[in-house]
Structure 1
Amino acid sequence: MALNAGTKLGPYEIQSLIGAGGMGEVYRAHDSRLQRTVAIKVLPASYSADRDRLQRFAQEARAAAALNHPNILSIFDIGDHQGSPYVVSELLEGETLRDCLKRGRLSIRKGIDYSLQVARGLAAAHDKGIVHRDL
């Protein structure tokens, strides 16, 4: 479900598409209540057709929202737009690791630093019983 700039999802106004993949689309949006820019991941409508999957999504979002760690995005909200569930999170801006690697190899020091950041975030999630299945 592609959303156009200006589309409203509750208090959130879509500004632009950030990216898309098998798990849905991610948009930059404006939160009119708190006057901040957020990211919204809109999941495929097929999630709504599977009650168990939808319950797991909501449960995992609540669990992730309880995490407070510098290597984990903050979750702000969840909702539904025309049958498609969505999750609202902190907007992380900058270069992706994939884009960085396109320019060439990382130094050993940078590779270790990035790996430690990922490991620390995963460890914090695992400590709360959350398993990331899509790295």
Structure 2
Amino acid sequence: MNKFQKLQFKSIDDFLEYLPEDELKIVNRLRQLILDCIPDCVEKLSYNVPYYYRHSRICFIWPASVPWGNVKMKGVQLGFCNGNKLNDEIKYLERGNRKQVYIKTFYDVKDIETDLLRSYILEAVMRDEKLKKK
């Protein structure tokens, strides 16, 4: 446990069991999309939420029910760890005051634009692959 969270999940299954039904539906859809797009990724809990790795951190799923300090959230965030390097001409991703990590927040499963998200995930994988070659 860390000073920003009062939770400590031992596994992805523990994490999933903790979620309220509305968030669980969104998380499951996002997880499936990520695992379909990145079949060779490692899914690992960091900060009590699932992060997806290959050569580096690619993305994460952060539901509002998993707190981080006093930050108030709603919905479920899909975050891109190097979102600042993604081509986002349509400004689909939320930047807030962050310089590197960009997110998209979902409030309902029907908000998930599968084809568009797939393109962002696949671009993030290509960026990750370039890190391997350096």
Q: Which interval holds the TM-score relative to the shorter structure?
A: under 0.3
Which structure ranks higher in relative contact order (CA pairs < 8 Å, sequence separation ≥ 6)?
Answer: 2
TM-score, with structure 1 as normaliser = 0.27
TM-score when normalising by structure 2 = 0.28
Greater share of residues in strand = 1
Decide which structure has the larger Cα Rg and report it.
1
